[in-house]
Structure 1
């Protein structure tokens, strides 16, 4: 299996990023430069993490610093663009998982696919579990993802494959826990996260979830920008 993630799948080349106020479309050459810089940033951050400099990105892309700053005036603009692409990809996974006949198999597949991206890209993992992501971007992701994940969980509950008290917040906790194992073991046991995911899901599937379920705001607190 190739170690490099399929960027054609990760980046939706014809899509317009999710922004509050739609901007006019870029000229063809400007959009081409923008996509080139996004691809290059993703490739570098996959191996080196989020601290890759603008200078390194521009040099690897073969563009000038002026082009880099015109397309992404602030570093957070670049991270938001990468984060939006990631969320679009994960939403695609959730939609595919919902089409599977076996609800539990679909839910496991969904979690594995999104964690596979994070395993292949150090930058995506840091983006999700570091201080670098903007709270507004995380909130938009929460608003889009929670209903899809809730339906995947509800299907598994209806099929008797999960306890009735399971919630999206429980799966957000599983994602954070497994992601933490992934981050800690990336350099010496890069597949350890798979075992951690199996353990976490087995525990959740057979857990006694009596008591009040966690409020949905728990998800925001798990992923929001840390102070």
Structure 2
């Protein structure tokens, strides 16, 4: 068990949480927003923000890393479930609940990924792929589903967003339930039209623009 943080360190950690929450809110609305908009949203001075981050790119990298850590935590919890379908559904639902995927897609191509982010991303992908592969091997997913389809499910459901956060949560749960029904082996839909997305198609968005 780690020792509790001192008063000053605890306050700094809380400030970091406030800044990252503000950055998530600002960049979800306007990915090109200046760093000053984050300071305003967080209720701190721009100088206070620059004491923690060297600039917008540093903040974006930190924000992306935070999202990947959240993704990994969801995947690790879901992987512990004994039933392959429950594990898959908990993974997909948990990532959507954390709302990490929509943020990283918004940020794609707006900064240069670091090697550390690359390692985190690879670990996150490996965990997600293992959950998908386990469900596929168990025969609970339709056989024309590919791993990359899951990323598109994240995007489709998290695109649902209204002004009321609770209503957003309820609507996302509704459409997630519909999509999970569609990917089960006994889905009522026929063969999916066309091939699924490729890793290259998804990865191209991370090329700096």
Of residues 198, 205, 209, the one that matches 1:215 is 198
- How far residue 105 of structure 1 moved from its aligned partner, in angstroms, is 0.9
- How far residue 54 of structure 1 moved from its aligned partner, in angstroms, is 4.7
- How far residue 145 of structure 1 moved from its aligned partner, in angstroms, is 2.0
Of residues 137, 157, 161, the one that matches 1:158 is 137
CA shift digits 1:1-45 (9 cap, x unpaired):
xxxxxxxxxxxx99xxxxxxxxxxxxx999667534321113434
State the TM-score, normalizing by the size of structure 2: 0.72
Q: Residue 158 of structure 2 aligns with which residue?
A: 179
State the TM-score, normalizing by the size of structure 1: 0.67
Of residues 31, 41, 44, the one that matches 2:22 is 44
Q: Which moved more, 1:145-154 or 1:29-38?
A: 29-38
Of residues 57, 72, 75, the one that matches 2:53 is 72
Say whether residues 1:134 and 2:117 are aligned partners: no
Of residues 171, 174, 178, the one that matches 1:199 is 178
Give the SS at the match of 1:199: helix
Q: Which moved more, 1:70-79 or 1:29-38?
A: 29-38
- Give the number of equivalent residue pairs: 190
Residues in 2 aligned to 1:171 and 1:150: alpha-carbon distance in whole angstroms: 10
Q: Which moved more, 1:202-211 or 1:108-117?
A: 202-211
Q: Residue 82 of structure 1 aligns with which residue?
A: 63
CA shift digits 1:40-66 (9 cap, x unpaired):
1134346x4335625426744xxx644
Residues in 1 aligned to 2:193 and 2:11: alpha-carbon distance in whole angstroms: 53
List gaps (5 residues or longer) in structure 2.
28-32
Contact 1:165 1:209 in 2 (8 A): yes
Say whether residues 1:53 and 2:27 are aligned partners: no
Alpha-carbon RMSD: 3.4
Pick closer, same or farther for the CA change 1:34–1:140 going to 2, 3 Å. Answer: farther
List gaps (5 residues or longer) in structure 1.
1-12, 15-27, 119-123
Contact 1:40 1:57 in 2 (8 A): no
Residues in 2 aligned to 1:151 and 1:58: alpha-carbon distance in whole angstroms: 37
Contact 2:84 2:138 in 1 (8 A): yes
